Amino acid sequence: MGFLLRLWAMIGKEALQLRRDRLTFAMMFGLPIMQLVLFGFAINSDPKGLPTAVLQSDNSKLTRALVAAVGNTGYFSSTQAVSTEAEADELLQRGAVQFIITIPGDFTRKLIRHETAQVAIEADGTDPATVGGALAAIGQAASQTLARELSGPLASYGTPAAPVDIVLHRRYNPEGITRFNIVPGLLGVILTMTMVMMTALAVTRERERGTMENLLAMPVRPIEVMAGKIAPYVLIGGVQVAVVLVAAKILFAVPFVGSFALFGAATLLFITVSLAIGFTFSTIAQNQLQAMQMSFFFLMPSILLSGFAFPFRGMPAWAQAIGEGLPVTHFLRIVRGLMLKGASLEQISGEIAVLAFMLILVSALAISRYRVTLD
Amino acid sequence: MSGPVIDVKGLVKRYGQRTVVDHVDLTIMQGRVCGFLGPNGSGKTTTLRMMCGLLTPDGGSGTCLGHDIIAERDAIKRQTGYMTQKFGLYEDLTIRENLEFVARVYRLDHVRSRVDAALERLGLATRQHQLTGALSGGWKQRLALAACVLHEPKLLLLDEPTAGVDPKARRAFWDEIHALAGQGITVLVSTHYMDEAERCHEIAYIAYGKLMARGTADEIIDGSGLKAFVASGPGADRLAPLLRDAVGVTAAAAFGLDLHVCGPDEAALEKAIAPFRADPALAWERTRPTLEDIFIHLMGEARDNAEAA
Ligand SMILES: Nc1ncnc2c1ncn2[C@@H]1O[C@H](COP(=O)(O)OP(=O)(O)O)[C@@H](O)[C@H]1O
Ligand SMILES: [Mg+2]
C-alpha cells in the first residue's frame, strides 16, 4: 500500500511538472503528428508531375499525339517546349527540369517508312529515386499512342515490330548511383544538426548556469558575444565538410566536377545561416533541454522535406513550400549542382540569393531578440 | 571625486502587475561601504541590476560614478565591478583561465602579470590550473571578488557575496572589502547577516520594494523609536511564543536563555509584558533595540502598507 501511495505521489509530481513544461508537452504531441503527416502524406517514392522540357524538332499529328500521351501519364508536367538543345541543357543543369524529351526531326518519316524511330530522354540522375517510375511510364505511353494512331487512317502503313526506340540517357549520374545523391544531402543534414544545436546550446548554457548575468555586466557588445560564440563552430563545420568530402571520395568515389571555390563560399554561407538559426533558438529557449528540443524540431523537416530523404518533386505542394523555407533544401541543390553537374555561379545564384536572404532575416531576428540587459 | 558615487532617485521596476522596486532613492558617498539589507524577494538584486545597467528601470533616474544609469550603461560597466548572487564564473574553466578571460573582456594591459598578482593576493597561485568548479563555496566567492576588482573599478556592487560561506571565510571576505574601501572604492553590498550589517559604514533597508530605513546602524536604531525589554531568569526564553502575537509587540525572541521583546509604543509594550512581570523569578530590564528588532519591525510595517495598498 505504501508503495502504491508513494508511486502515485511520484506520478502526480511528474505529471504536474510535465504540464508546466509547455515545450516538452507540445513536442510530445507535435512530433508524432508531424511524423505521421510527413511520412503519410508528404513522402511519395513514386513522384509525379515532374517538370520536363520537350525539344520537338518534328511537328506532325503523330508527334503531337505522342507528346500529349506523355503528358497524360501524369509523370510529366508543365512540359516546356524549347527550341534548341543548348536551351534544354541549361534548364536541366539549373535543375529547372528533371527531363528533356527530344523528338528528332525524322521521327514521323521513319515511322512511315517502317523504320524504328527514336525518342531520346535525358534524365537528371542526381536524384535517382525521382526518375524510375517516369521512365517506365513514357515507354508505355509511346507504344500505346503509336498503336492507336497507326491503327486509324494510317493503318495501311502497318505496325513495325518495335515502332519506337526510347533512348535513355541519365545525365550527371549515369549509373543512377544512390549515394551520389546521398552525399550532398548528408553534408547538409550533418551541418544543420551540429550547427543549429551547438549554438543553441552554447548560449542557453550561459543563461542556465548563471554566467550570462556576469557576462552582461561586463562591457561586451551583443555582436561580440554572437560572433564569439559562432566563430568556433564555423571552424568545426569546415572540418566536418572536409571529412565528409574526403570520405565520399575515398569510400564511394563520388565525383566533384564543379568549382571548389564556389562550393566553399556556398558552404560558408549555409553554415552561417544555420548558426544564426541556432542563435535565434537560444534567445527563445529557457534552458538547454528546450534548445535541444527546438533543434530537433527543426532537424526533422530538414531531413524529410529538403529532398534529402525523399524526392523533393514527389512531395505535395504544401510540403514543397515548407521545404523551400528550409536552408538545407537550397544548400542541397547547390551542392548537387556543384558536385555532380558542374554548375556555374550563374546557375546556382538563385539558390545562393535565397540563402543570403535567409541569413539577413535570421540574423536580424537574432540580434533584435538578443538583450544586453536582463529585461 | 568625493561627491556621491551612487545617486539614484525614484527607481521603479515592475514585473507584470507587481512593483518589485518602488520609488527607491539612494545616495552613497565615495569610499563608503553601504550594507543593503532586506528580506528575500524585497528587490535588492533588482535594484543592484538597475544600477549597473543590467535592467532598465520603469521609472526614476540617477547616476553611478557620474554617468546616467540608462544612457551611459557602457561607461558604468567599465568602472564597476558587479558580483552576481549566483556564482557567475565558468566552472569548466580553470581559475587562471577565468581571470584571464575577464581581463581580456575589459581589454586590460599586462594580462599575465595582473592575473599573476591577483592569484598571489588570493593565495590561489598553486591551484591556478584547477577547474573552478572544484573550489569550495568560500573560495569561489573570493575568486569572484578578485575577478570583479581585476579592472580596478571605482564602484563595487556585491550581491549576497557571503551567503552560505563559513564564518572564517566571511571574516576574510569582509577584511578585503574594507581594504578596498580604504583605497577609495565605494561598495554597496547586500547581505542577510546582522554582524555584516554592523561592519558597514551605513545601511539601507528595503522591504517589499520600498526603502524603509537609511543611515548608520546607530542612526537607524535611534531613529526607529522602538522600545525593547530583556527578561532573564528560569523559563524566560520559553515566553517568546506567548508574547509574539500580543498587542503592542513587534518581535519576541529567545536569545540563549534570555527573552528579547520589542514594540513601537512604550505603554502598549509595558501592558503586554505586565502579566509576566509579576513573576518574581524573572528580571525585566530596558534594553537598546538591535538592528534585527528594527528590521523585523520595518518588515511588518512594509507588509501592512503593501497589503493596505
Ligand atoms: N525576471 C523576473 N520576472 C518576474 N519577477 C521577478 C524577476 N526577477 C525578480 N522578480 C521578482 O522580484 C522580486 C524581487 O526580487 P529580487 O530583486 O531578486 O529580490 P532579493 O534580491 O531582494 O531577494 C521577487 O519577488 C522576484 O520574484
Ligand atoms: Mg537577491
Annotated domain spans of chain A: 50-171, 177-374
Intervals of chain B under pLDDT 50: none
Residue nearest to atom 3 of ligand 1 (CA): B15
- Every domain range in chain B assigned CATH 3.30.70.860: 227-288
Taking CB atoms and a 6 Å cutoff, what residues make up the pocket around ligand 1? B 15, 20, 38, 40-46
- Here the cell at position A288 is 538547454
Question: Which ranges in chain B are annotated with CATH 3.40.50.300?
Answer: 6-220
Q: Is the pLDDT of residue A246 over 90?
A: no
Please report, as a single letter, which amino acid is at residue B82: Y
Q: How many CB atoms lie within 10 A of CB A330?
A: 28
Topology of domain B6-220, CATH = Rossmann fold (3.40.50)
Please answer yes or no on whether B74 and A211 come within 8 Å at the CB atom. no
Q: What element of type H or E holds A85? A: helix A85-94
- Strand order from edge to edge, sheet including B4-15: B18-29, B4-15, B59-64, B67-68
Between positions 70 and 129 of B, the ones with CB within 8 A of A are: 73-74, 77-78, 80, 82, 84, 86-91, 102, 105-106
Residue A212 alpha carbon to ligand 1 centre in Å: 17
Task: Determine which of A127-131, A156-160, A259-263 has the lowest per-residue pLDDT on average.
Answer: A156-160
- pLDDT for res A5: 73
| Dist. CA A173 → ligand 1 center (Å) | 63
Q: Which chain A residues have a beta carbon less than 8 Å from that of B52?
A: 217
The reply to whether B155 touches chain A by the CB within 8 Å rule is: no
For A50-171, which CATH superfamily applies? abc type-2 transporter like domain (3.40.1710.10)
The overall average pLDDT reported for chain B is: 91
- Minimal Cα–Cα distance from B100 to chain A, Å? 14
d(CA A102, CA A66): 12
Query: Residue B235 has what pLDDT?
Result: 85
Q: With an 8 Å Cβ cutoff, is A368 touching chain B? A: no
- As a whole-number percent, the residues of chain A with pLDDT over 70 amount to 87
What is the average pLDDT across A108-112?
Answer: 80
Q: Whole-angstrom Cα distance, residue B71 to residue B53?
A: 9
- Amino acid type, A366: A
Q: How far is CA B259 from CA B236, B254, B279, in A?
A: 6, 5, 14
The two beta strands, B59-64 and B80-83, are unpaired
CA distance A205 to chain B (A): 11
Q: At what angle do helices B95-105 and B137-149 cross, to 10 degrees?
A: 30
**Nearest ligand to the CA atom of B85:** 2
Q: Which amino acid belongs to residue B179?
A: A
Q: Which residues of A touch B56 (CB under 8 A)?
A: 373, 375
Contacts of A213 in chain B (CB under 8 A): 54, 84, 86, 88
ipTM score for this prediction: 0.85
Work out the angle between the directed axes of helices A222-252 and A345-369 (0-180°, nearest 10).
140
Res B278: pLDDT? 85
In the prediction, which pLDDT does A316 show?
82
Report the chain B residue with the minimal C-alpha distance to residue A210. Answer: B88
8 Å CB contact of A374 and B49 = yes
| pLDDT tens-place string over residues A321-354 | 999 999 999 999 999 888 888 888 888 999 999 9
Mean pLDDT estimate for chain A: 81
- Dist CA B227 CA B293 (whole Å): 10
Name which of B12, B51, B54, B104 to mutate to probe chain A: the one with the most chain A Cβ atoms within 10 A of its Cβ: B54
Q: Is the pLDDT of residue A257 over 80?
A: yes
Atom nearest to B42 CA in ligand 1 = 22
**Which tens digit of pLDDT belongs to each residue from B106-122?**
989 999 999 999 999 88
Largest CA distance in chain B: 73
Rounded distance between C-alpha atoms, residue B309 and residue B305, angstroms: 6
pLDDT for A274:
93
pLDDT digits over A33-67, tens only? 666 666 656 666 667 788 888 888 888 887 888 88
Q: Considering only the beta carbons, identify the residue of A210, A219, A373 that sits closest to B54.
A: A373
Taking the CA atoms of B93, B99, B100 and B101 in sequence, report the sign of the dihedral they define. Answer: positive
SS3 B168: helix
Question: Is the model's pTM score more than 0.90?
Answer: no
Q: Which residues in chain A belong to E strands, given as ranges?
A: 50-56, 76-82, 99-103, 117-124, 164-171
Cβ within 8 Å of residue B16, ≥6 positions away = none
Q: Report how far ligand 2's centroid is from the alpha carbon of B63 (Å).
A: 22
What gap in Å lies between CA A215 and CA A176, rounded to an integer? Answer: 54
Mutation to test the B interface, candidates A208, A216, A221, A223, most B Cβ within 10 Å: A216
Instruction: Give the H or E element holding residue A79.
Output: strand A76-82
State the greatest distance between any 2 C-alpha atoms of chain A, in Å, as a whole number.
95
Tens of pLDDT, residue by residue over A154-186, are 555 555 555 677 777 777 776 666 667 777 788
Site from A201, A206, A208, A213 to mutate, B interface, most B CB atoms within 10 angstroms: A213
Subunit contact A373:B90, Cβ cutoff 8 A: no
> Quick one: CATH architecture of B227-288?
2-Layer Sandwich (3.30)
Count the residues in chain A. Answer: 375
Q: In chain B, whose CA is at the least distance from the CA of A221?
A: B74
What separation in Å is there between the alpha carbon of B85 and the centre of ligand 2? 6
Q: How far apart are CA B63 and CA A341, in angstroms?
A: 64
